[in-house]
Amino acid sequence: MDDRIHAHAETLVDWSARIEAGDDVVVKVSEGAHELGIAVAEELGARDANVVTLYGSDEIDRAYLRNHSGEFDENPPHELALYENADAVLSLGGGHNTMATADVPSEKRQEKSRATEGIREARMDTDWVSTVHPTRSLAQQAGMSFEAYQEFVYDAVLRDWEALAEEMAKMKELLDEGSEVRLVKENTDLTMSIEGRTAVNSAASVVYDSHNLPSGEVFTAPDATAGEVFFDVPMTINSQRVRDVHLEFDDGEVVDYSAGQNEAVIEEVLETDEGAKRLGELGIGMNRGIDQFTDSILFDEKMGDTVHLALGRAYTSNFPEGTEDEANESAVHVDMITEMGEDSRMEVDGEVVQRNGTFRWEDRFEE
């Protein structure tokens, strides 16, 4: 077996999920993630953890959902009990066809998701971590050869997480102490209030309240957004390719929008509910192991020297206990990404903290 698979499993079990002897762990192995499943089992065995192994198959989900009447029982007790009694849930993604469920009516998926909200909550109450094993299907979606995609994934996953967490702590400190963020680049001059918010240092470990491997972003919940922003990174929203989105904000709300492709998708998102017109997240991608876009939000939004903004739902983790402010609520949370490379800057309270893709604590910053 490829040494990188062992290293991936070790990072997942040790750095991300912090598994200890006696932990009751659920591992969900996707159709194409068998090898990572073996490597994770080795790590969990070596720690004397207790394991239940689930099968994550889009093809099986499709078969089930298409034949179901659509009237789903609320939180089936066997599945609920499994998660309620688990300490950690490790999801190993990576299938054989990213389009395997393309012909499942989305209403049925939503109805299932609604009926099993309690199961989702029980899972989120564990030390859960999601990662992906590189498969040919994901390489195809990324527009890459399998070998190049493997390198891409392991570059993103096998970081010096301790060092990155320390670096991200600097950005968190700036945001925690600051009141206003300003982004400036071509077609972009946007200000947001972050007064009273707590930034999350998402360092790919449950001890940082971070549940993705790879991660590598610092995020907070903006408010009172004003100005314009241009998203130059293409993305897939509601299964449709969207490019060159431009948004204009006033007093926290989107007041105008355009897109170079599939503009109607943006309209659809904005019309979901009141909260969909406001930002739920400002995220600063700091994982420089991710150096290209692969049409997968797990990776794209963490890419070094990017910023993403999400329309819709905010995370309560950005709201300190005791605050009277309320997190933006919405049925959606749609991330959109803009590069912060050449001719860009980010300011916190008027002070430049990132210029042309360099943070102010980096040597290159003054050049």
Where on the chain is the footprint of a copy of itself (CB under 8 A)? 22, 24, 26, 29, 31, 34, 37-39, 41-46, 48, 50-55, 57, 59-61, 63-69, 71-73, 76-86
Nearest to 276 by CA among 288, 267, 285, 287: 267
Q: How far is the CB of 172 from a copy of itself (least distance, A)?
A: 34
Exposure b/e, 167-189, CB count within 10 A at least 16 = b: bbebbbebbeebeebbbbbeebe
Residue placing its CB nearer to a copy of itself in the complex, 122 or 174: 122
Strands 88-93 and 127-132: parallel
Distance CA 321, CA 202 (A): 19
Contact 133, 95 (CB under 8 A): no
Q: What is the Cα–Cα distance from 193 to 176, expressed in whole angstroms?
A: 12
Smallest separation, CB 93 to a copy of itself (Å): 14
Whichever of 57 and 296 has its CB closer to a copy of itself, that residue is 57
**Residue 60 Cβ vs a copy of itself, minimum distance, rounded to whole Å:** 5
Q: Provide the minimum distance between the beta carbon of 212 and a copy of itself in the complex, in angstroms, as a whole number.
A: 22
Question: Between 74 and 291, whose beta carbon lies closer to a copy of itself?
Answer: 74
Of 72 and 146, which CB lies nearer to a copy of itself in the complex structure? 72
Least Cβ distance, residue 329 to a copy of itself (angstroms): 29
Specify the residue, 29 or 192, whose C-beta has the smaller distance to a copy of itself: 29
* Amino acid making up residue 143: G
Distance CA 341, CA 314 (A): 26
Close Cβ partners of 5 (under 8 Å, ≥ 6 residues apart): 35, 36, 39, 133
Exposed, middle or buried, 210 (CB in 10 Å: 0-12/13-18/19+)?
Answer: buried
The answer to whether 251 and 236 have CB atoms below 8 angstroms apart is: no
User: Could you give the 3-state DSSP secondary structure of residue 170?
Assistant: helix
CB of 152 to a copy of itself, least distance (A): 26
Residues 6+ apart with CB under 8 A from 183: 189, 190, 229, 307, 338, 340, 344, 345, 346
Between 44 and 171, CB nearer to a copy of itself = 44
Name the minimum Å distance from CB 162 to a copy of itself: 25
Report the SS3 class of residue 115.
helix
Q: Which is nearer to a copy of itself, 18 or 96 (CB)?
A: 96
Using the minimum distance from each CB to a copy of itself, give the nearer residue, 62 or 288: 62
Supply the minimum distance, in Å, between the C-beta of residue 260 and a copy of itself. Answer: 40
CB 198 within 8 Å of CB 317 = yes
Please state the closest distance from residue 219 (CB atom) to a copy of itself, in A.
Answer: 31
**Between 2 and 48, CB nearer to a copy of itself:** 48
- 3-state SS string for 28-52: EEECCCHHHHHHHHHHHHHCCCEEE
